[in-house]
Structure formats: structure tokens, C-alpha cells
């Protein structure tokens, strides 16, 4: 079986103008754009100047030539040696050729005569008033005006001097235009380098981040669009660095919290396995039961810790909040679950209507964590006060107060941090993630959390959330 060879590369695509343009750097494109724009402007100005000067010079030649011919035709006559009367201009004209052409084609004048054609003969016959033309053979301008009867005065002048002047002007325009284009290209290069220097720094920073993972901010100078772009990029780097720091802290804290139950679980399992070996000392039923109970407690703690970690990681992920949520329904569902978990605790509930845009599941988890925390610290038969009331026109407050020992003033700023557990709580079950999840949910919904002392003597935990007291329409 023969494997077909791969098709040859498409050279047309590789060498197409579009492909070549994409490989040109932005700085070179700016330079070329400036040069092309200046070249176009210089070309238009040069052409316009050349045409204007040319027309003006030719118009001056025509006006001067016609004026001299009319003066010669209307001027005095003199008699030559052959008894012919000719205009005085025959003897005083300088830089001009002059002759008199009769209607029958007879030419009278000096030996150096202007070129003749049917146009001058028509003037001599009276068929046309005058004529003005360019003779290509002699490269001269020829004018004919009537003089006397059945005759025309023909006068011509060379165009070489004028054409020489126009040639010099064209050279000057080309040289000055080329210098202007080079100057524009140099200025475009300088402007492109200066203007794109922040872009180059930004590009180098992104490449550095991609290669090294270094999230140091880029120095910002000025207040233009590129400076704002750099500031935005620095904000993105700061957010990314903060996210990485949270991830590292979460992994480190999780590893620390998991180490203790795993060590205890491994120790108990090793003892149980060692007691089952032949000739090994047997454990009493009481010790065996205590070990199994300890293993079961450690597994339960690990399950709760893993569940909290998963929930916390899910809360760290940005999610769209767009559903109308009735907070009374959320709190009542959380109360139903809390009552099943803590049947010996009485919940004193006072709720006022409040509607907001949010994630009902996440909000219910946050409220349940507040209730579980209060129930854990309340004594058997104790009462937990739950109130939901507006704080102002745009915010409501959920207060959960218990009758337990309360939170020490030194611990209150840290109770919502991940894995933080006060010295009194370290002997109690729990992972230290419940209140941090409450903080995550509140901040994701634009709210805040606060810990203080309740009038009942225990802890008071408050969660403030935005919204409104009246119903909102479905978006």
C-alpha cells in the first residue's frame, strides 16, 4: 500500500501580498504609511505647482507675443531698398522672427522667417481674425494678426528658454519632494519608535510572564491610551498574582488540615492491621471499638473537609449571577436543614421580604453555614436568633446570634479566613472553612460580612446583601 505524499505547500498563499503584509512589523507599517502619505501629498502639490507655473509661463509668452504682433501690425511702415513698405518692427524686433504674409502666399521679411502654415494664410485672406499655435518642428510659438488689406503679420518666438526653465523647476520639485519623503520616513520611524515603545514593553512583559511566570507590574508613564492599557494589564497581573497566592495558600492550608486526620487514620488502621496478624497481641473489644469509632470520626471529618474544599473552590470560580432570589425562601430552606442537624436547638426567626439577583444555591449554603456555626456553639436547649431586615433602601442584613461563649475580640477579624480556628475551637469538629465560604458568597454577590458580640452574650454574625424590598421583574 502506497502512502500518498503530502500536498506541496501553497506558495501563492505564502508569497501573497497579504501574507507579506502580515509579516511586516507595525513600526515598519507606520513608517511606510507616513512615507506614502507624504509622497502622495508631495506629488499632488508638485504636479499642481508645475502645471500652474507652466500655464502661467505659456500664458505670458502668448500675451507678450500677441501684444508685440499687434503693435507691429499697427505701427509705422518703412520703405526697403526694393521699394517695399514693411513694419518698423522688422528692424527693432529682438528674440522674435517676423514676416508679412500676403493673401496670395507672398512672404516679405528677413531671411530668418517664422514658420508658415494654412492658419496664417487664412488670417491673411481675412478668413479668421487671428491665429495662435505651436510649431512642433521649430519648437516655437507662432501668432498671426491682420495688417493692412489682404496681408497678415506673422511673428514667432522660441520655447526653448521656457522649456529649460520648466525642466529646472521639475528637477527642483523632484529633489525637494524626494527629500520631503525621506524626511517623512525618518519622522515616521522616530514617531513609531517613540509611540510603540510602551507596546514593546507590554509585549516583552507578556512574553516574560509566559516564560517565567513572573507577575511583576510594568512601569507606567503618561496618561494616554497606551498608559491606560498598561495600567489595565498591571491590574490583570495583580489579579492573577492574587489568584495564584490564594491557590497556594489554599493548597498549603488544605495540606496542613488534611495531615492530622490522615495521620491519625493511618495510625489506627496500622494498629488494627497489626493486631490481626498471627501471634500479635490481641486488642480488647473496648480498644477495638474505640479505634473503629475514631476511624469513623476521622473519615467523617475528611469527608466534610473535602466537601468544604470543593465548595470553596467552586465559589472561587467566577459565575454569572442573574436569577431573582427571594431571601425568605433561601433562609427557610436553610433553617429546615439546620433543624434536622441540630434538633436540640431552638431557632427564633424573624424575616422581612427581600428580593435580589443572585445564586440561590450558594446563598442557601452560606446561610446554612451561619446556622450550623451558631448551633455548634449553642448549649443544648439553647436559642439561636435569626433576623432578616433591611439595612437601608438598597441593602438587607441577615443576623445570626447564638447564646454560646462568643468570639474573642482578637479573633473576630480572622474568623472569616480560610482554615482559621480559634484556640477554643481547635478541639471541636470542623474544618475552619464554613465562615470563609460565607464571606466568598457575600462578596460574590456584592455584600459584606461582620462578626461581633450578640446581646444574648454569644457571637453575632451579620451578612449584608444588596437588593430591594419589593419584587423585581424577571429580566
| Residues 344-394 pLDDT 10s | 899 999 999 999 998 888 888 889 889 988 988 888 888 999 999 998 888
pLDDT score, position 148: 74
| Three-class SS state of 132 | strand
Question: 90 pLDDT exceeds 70?
Answer: no
| The pLDDT of residue 13 is above 50 | no
Q: Which residue has the higher pLDDT, 256 or 117?
A: 117
Q: Taking the domains of the chain in order of start, what are their residue ranges? A: 24-208, 225-309, 320-469
Rounded to whole angstroms, the Cα distance separating 372 from 338 reads: 6
Q: What is the per-residue pLDDT for 14?
A: 46
State residue 21's pLDDT score.
47
Is the confidence at residue 291, as pLDDT, over 70? yes
Percent of the chain with pLDDT over 90: 15
Parallel/antiparallel/unpaired status of strands 448-453 and 323-326: unpaired
**What is the pLDDT, as a whole number, of residue 11?**
44
In three-state secondary structure terms, 223 is: coil
Q: What is the DSSP string of 182-202?
A: HHHHHHHHHHHHHHHHHHHHH
Is the pLDDT at 322 greater than 90? The verdict is no
User: Could you give phi then psi for residue 330, rounded to 5 degrees?
Assistant: -65, -45
More confident residue, 134 or 423: 134
Mean pLDDT of 43-70: 89
Q: Is the pLDDT of residue 409 over 90?
A: no
**Which is more confident, 468 or 252?**
468
Helix (H) or strand (E) holding 241: helix 225-275
Place of cell 426567626: 349
Statement: residue 474 has pLDDT above 60: no
312 closest CA partner among 257, 261, 247: 247
- Whether pLDDT at 261 is above 50: yes
User: What per-residue confidence (pLDDT) applies to 460?
Assistant: 92
Of 162, 195, 142, 216, the residue nearest 53 (C-alpha):
162
Helices (H), 112-159: 118-124
Q: How far is CA 357 from CA 239, 343, 368, in A?
A: 25, 32, 19
**Residue 83 has what pLDDT?**
43
| CATH architecture designation of domain 225-309 | Orthogonal Bundle (1.10)
DSSP 136: T
Q: Say what the pLDDT of residue 85 is.
A: 56
CA distances in angstroms from 183 to 54, 175, 194, 310, listed in the order given: 28, 12, 16, 64
d(CA 380, CA 62): 121
- Say if strands 346-351 and 383-390 run parallel, antiparallel, or are unpaired: parallel
Mean pLDDT of the 249-277 span: 73
In this predicted structure, what is the pLDDT of residue 408? 84
Pairwise pLDDT comparison (156 vs 434), residue with the higher score: 156
Statement: residue 151 has pLDDT above 50:
yes
Q: How far apart are CA 378 and CA 348, in angstroms?
A: 13
CA triple 45-51-55, angle to 5 deg? 145
Q: What is the mean pLDDT of residues 386-404?
A: 91
pLDDT at 110 over 90: no
**Banded model confidence at residue 473, pLDDT cuts 50, 70, 90:** very low
pLDDT digit string (tens) for 168-203? 999 998 888 888 888 888 887 887 777 777 777 777
| Residue 3: predicted pLDDT | 46
CA-closest candidate to residue 135, choices 150, 153, 121, 155: 155
More confidently predicted of 276 and 133:
133
pLDDT at residue 12 is higher than 50: no
Give, in words, the CATH class of 320-469.
alpha beta
Check residue 312 and give its pLDDT. Answer: 61
pLDDT tier for residue 462 given thresholds of 50, 70 and 90 = very high
Q: What is the mean pLDDT of residues 30-47?
A: 84
- Given a cut of 70, whether residue 66 has pLDDT beyond it is yes
Cα separation of 296 and 83, whole Å? 150
Question: When comparing pLDDT for 439 and 82, which is higher?
Answer: 439
Query: What DSSP character marks residue 413?
Result: G
- Which pLDDT score, from 0 to 100, does residue 260 have? 63
- Dihedral angle sign, alpha carbons of residues 251, 256, 257, 260: positive
Q: In whole angstroms, how large is the CA radius of gyration of the chain?
A: 51
For residue 59, the model assigns a pLDDT of: 92
Amino acid at each position: 500500500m502506497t502512502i500518498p505524499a503530502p500536498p506541496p505547500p501553497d506558495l501563492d498563499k505564502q508569497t501573497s501580498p497579504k501574507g507579506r503584509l502580515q509579516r511586516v512589523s507595525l513600526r515598519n507599517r507606520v513608517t511606510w504609511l507616513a512615507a506614502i502619505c507624504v509622497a502622495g501629498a508631495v506629488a499632488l502639490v508638485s504636479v499642481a505647482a508645475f502645471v500652474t507655473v507652466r500655464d502661467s509661463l505659456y500664458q505670458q509668452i502668448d500675451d507678450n507675443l500677441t501684444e508685440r504682433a499687434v503693435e507691429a501690425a499697427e505701427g509705422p511702415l518703412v520703405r526697403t531698398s526694393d521699394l517695399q513698405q514693411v513694419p518698423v518692427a522688422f528692424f527693432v524686433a529682438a528674440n522674435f522672427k517676423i514676416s508679412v504674409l500676403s493673401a496670395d502666399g507672398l512672404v516679405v521679411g528677413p531671411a530668418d522667417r517664422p514658420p508658415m502654415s494654412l492658419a496664417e494664410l487664412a488670417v491673411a485672406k481675412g478668413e479668421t481674425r487671428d491665429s495662435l499655435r505651436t510649431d512642433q518642428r521649430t519648437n516655437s510659438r507662432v501668432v498671426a494678426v491682420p495688417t493692412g488689406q489682404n496681408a497678415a503679420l506673422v511673428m514667432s518666438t522660441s520655447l526653448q528658454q521656457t522649456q529649460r526653465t520648466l525642466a529646472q523647476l521639475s528637477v527642483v520639485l523632484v529633489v525637494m519632494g524626494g527629500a520631503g519623503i525621506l524626511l517623512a520616513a525618518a519622522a515616521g520611524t522616530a514617531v513609531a519608535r517613540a509611540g510603540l515603545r510602551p507596546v514593546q514593553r507590554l509585549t516583552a512583559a507578556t512574553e516574560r510572564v509566559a516564560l517565567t511566570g513572573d507577575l511583576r507590574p510594568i512601569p507606567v508613564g503618561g496618561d494616554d491610551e497606551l498608559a491606560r492599557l498598561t495600567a489595565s494589564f498591571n491590574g490583570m497581573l495583580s489579579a492573577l498574582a492574587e489568584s495564584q497566592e490564594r491557590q497556594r495558600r489554599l493548597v498549603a492550608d488544605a495540606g496542613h488540615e488534611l495531615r492530622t486526620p490522615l495521620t491519625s487514620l493511618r495510625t489506627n488502621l496500622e494498629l488494627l492491621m497489626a493486631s490481626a496478624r498471627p501471634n500479635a497481641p490481641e486488642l480488647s473489644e473496648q480498644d477495638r471499638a474505640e479505634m473503629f469509632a475514631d476511624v469513623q470520626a476521622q473519615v467523617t471529618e475528611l469527608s466534610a473537609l473535602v466537601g468544604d474544599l470543593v465548595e470553596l473552590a467552586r465559589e472561587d470560580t467566577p459565575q454569572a449571577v442573574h436569577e431573582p432570589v427571594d431571601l425568605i425562601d433561601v433562609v427557610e430552606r436553610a433553617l429546615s436543614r439546620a433543624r434536622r442537624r441540630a434538633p436540640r436547638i431552638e431557632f427564633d426567626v424573624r424575616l422581612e421580604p427581600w428580593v435580589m439577583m443572585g445564586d440561590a444555591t450558594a446563598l442557601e449554603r452560606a446561610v446554612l453555614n451561619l446556622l450550623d456555626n451558631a448551633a455548634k456553639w449553642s448549649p443544648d436547649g439553647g436559642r439561636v436568633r435569626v433576623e432578616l431586615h433591611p439595612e437601608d433602601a438598597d441593602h438587607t442584613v441577615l443576623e445570626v446570634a447564638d447564646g454560646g461563649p462568643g468570639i474573642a475580640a482578637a479573633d473576630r477579624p480572622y474568623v472569616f479566613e480560610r482554615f482559621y480556628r480559634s484556640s477554643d475551637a481547635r478541639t471541636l469538629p470542623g474544618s475552619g472553612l464554613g465562615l470563609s465560604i460565607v464571606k466568598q458568597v457575600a462578596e460574590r454577590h456584592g455584600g459584606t460580612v461582620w462578626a461581633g458580640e450578640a446581646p444574648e452574650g454569644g457571637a453575632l454574625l451579620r451578612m449584608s446583601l444588596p437588593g430591594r424590598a419589593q419584587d423585581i421583574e424577571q429580566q
